[in-house]
Amino acid sequence: MSNKTSQFDKILNTSYQHGKVEHEPDSSKEVQLNTPEKTMPFSDQIGNYQRNKGIPSKSFDNSKVYIVGSGIAGMAAAYYFIKDGRIPGKNIIFLDQAHIDGGSLDGAGNAEEGFIVRGGREMDMTYENLWDIFQDIPALELPEPYSVLDEYRLINDNDPNFSKARLIHNKGTIQDFSTFGLQKKDQLAIVKLLMKKKEDLDDLTIQDYFSESFLASNFWTFWRTMFAFENWHSLLECKLYMHRFLHAIDGMKDFSCLVFPKYNQYDTFVTPLRKFLVEKGVGIQLNTLVKDLDMLINTDGKLVKGIMTVQDGKEVEIPIEKDDFVIVTTSSMTEDTFYGDNTKAPIVEINKSDSGQSDGWKLWKNLAAKSEVFGKPEKFCGDIKKSSWESATLTCKPSAFIEKVKELSVNDPYSGKTVTGGIITITDSNWLMSFTCNRQPHFPTQPDDVLVIWVYALFMDKDGDYIKKTMPQCTGNEILAELCYHLGIIDQLDNVVENTIVRSSFMPYITSMFMPRAKGDRPRVIPEGCTNLGLVGQFVETNNDIVFTMESSVRTARLAVYGLLNLNKQVPDINPLQYDIRHLLKAVQSLNDYQSFPGEGILRKVLKGTYYEHVLADNKEEKEENESFFMEQFGKLQVWFKGL
């Protein structure tokens, strides 16, 4: 806006940087040197310096923004269009085929009919983009001037999260989960994977790379059940996860690395963000199906001219003017959810031959048919057997099941504090069943005598150990029977069924983002040549971030806004802790279960008494240091030098 920057014209008009910001810097490729040309922060140099207010190149007061999909990615886009783009909230309109906003961040129901959440959120303190938003969104329960982030910190700073029963087996007996149990070759395989270039991992699966001993280790049980990885999923995505959570590896055994919200994901995040946007004038138009985009594609680029919708059974085209923008959420991980209850199993009316035919996938497929820059959706929605699992939400009154949960919990479930501290995994379950009880109440309207507990199974396509059916074939009561069997209370099943409401959810595409992929399978946030279209959500390409997190959805939204408006702001790359020598050493120690690694004794002696002696954690068990390999090589080196 020239009238807003006129006092800086002498600098801006002669600058070779102005208007040429790299909105998505890549820390995996950047050499971090200070030079006269390096005027902006390094790619992952996070902090308050990145909190500058973006100055649009012109006024967008008359621009309209249409956002397809009202999940966290779409809501984040609206937030950044208002905050950094200075676009009036009244000019922003959501279009969503659902009857309620929030996308996959759902949470609904009541104590009489049963509550339901299809999934939950394990949060990390390094979600810079997510916390960038919620440090400015007014709190749900605290008075002004407090924010959602303030509430989050208040609860987690004073109620530490951890589990005392991360793994159980043998009818509810707590299993030793103190070690990762990785062989040396498997530790080395992780190190080698971290060193590999991303482009060398196209279409490879986890089982293509890792050995059987790795796949049978405690480490992989922790990892796969926490993040929902299957052996046939993308090795590239697994690598990105290892970089993203390198700093948290030592806390994955007992979940002490995580922070959880007070309530469910909808009430914690969607409710306050929606309220903020609506108060800014943002419109939310539900029950509106977006079928396709009318695009002009030529040598000048790719321009959206209209949005093809169905409203109240009628086809309506929304014209897109010159300075308007369109944001599209490419499909959804919770598309085509099938539901069940205590006496009814989910009726799954979909298979491999007709998967990916729902409206969300069709919109992406229609875009992909226009140009290869829009990716290959069939890579992700083509095999629901490999992308699906089922969850169940239990609304529980006091019963034998609750008494068993108390035995496995850190605090009394009715205390309002951390309960199980994350999922408890049943390792001898054919379904590889896990369940969790988060802080209660999980819903603001929840009665005092009710607990909400969440269950899911990673191998739900196998027959159960007690109920000889796959999980999707089971009614809610049969799921309870399988759970009670593994908890050693099957003789009290009638009591549990009488006091538990079950609402189950079969999700065909819940891990479709993890399917093996190659470069070009996912579109960029702003596909090549697009001038008024941004793609957001879980199925778009970013440099180094992962999928299946709120953080990655917010990142895509921020990239879309900054890129389309060409703001003088960057979206920092993921938190740089993967390059921190302290966390690298901690990861080595943790993966080796705190046994001495080769050369550790020498390193301790070098660091002892220096400023850096704290970078190695103390061994949890005093053991004789094993330096034989290092000393052998050091001796050979001495002989070689003497020879010289």
Catalytic residues: 122, 241
The type of residue at 378 is E
Q: At a CB cut-off of 8 Å and minimum separation 6, what does 608 contact?
A: none
d(CA 362, CA 376): 12
Specify whether the CB–CB gap between 377 and 364 falls below 8 A. Answer: yes
Closest of 409, 486, 476, 407 to residue 440, by C-alpha: 409
d(CA 458, CA 485): 18
d(CA 87, CA 56): 10
Q: Is 343 helix (H, G, I), strand (E, B) or coil?
A: coil
Closest of 248, 198, 249 to residue 28, by C-alpha: 198
Specify whether the CB–CB gap between 81 and 561 falls below 8 A. Answer: yes
Closest of 542, 147, 474 to residue 338, by C-alpha: 474
Specify whether the CB–CB gap between 373 and 529 falls below 8 A. Answer: yes
Place of tokens 């996070």: 46
187 phi/psi in degrees, rounded to 5: -60, -45
d(CA 381, CA 378): 5
Q: At a CB cut-off of 8 Å and minimum separation 6, what does 137 contact?
A: 147, 148, 149, 272, 273, 276
What are the percentages of helix, strand and coil residues in the chain, rounded to 5?
Answer: 35, 15, 50
- Answer positive or negative: Cα dihedral of 635, 636, 642, 644: negative
> Could you write out the DSSP letters of every residue in 254-311?
TTTT-B--SS-HIIIIIHHHHHHHHHTT-EEE-SEEEEEEEEEEETTEEEEEEEEEEE
User: What long-range pairs does 214-218 form, CB within 8 A, spacing at least 24?
Assistant: 214/182, 214/183, 214/186, 214/189, 217/180, 217/181, 217/182, 217/183, 217/186, 218/167, 218/177, 218/179, 218/180, 218/181, 218/253
Closest of 125, 105, 126, 124 to residue 116, by C-alpha: 105
Buried b (16+ CB within 10 A) or exposed e, 167-191: bbeeebebbebeebbbeeebbebbe
- Answer positive or negative: Cα dihedral of 190, 194, 200, 203: positive
In angstroms, the first-to-last Cα distance of the chain is: 69
- Answer positive or negative: Cα dihedral of 567, 22, 548, 506: positive
- The maximal CA–CA distance of the chain, rounded, in angstroms, is 88
Question: Is the link from the previous residue into 441 a cis peptide, with omega within 30 of 0?
Answer: yes
Closest of 91, 184, 230, 237 to residue 546, by C-alpha: 237
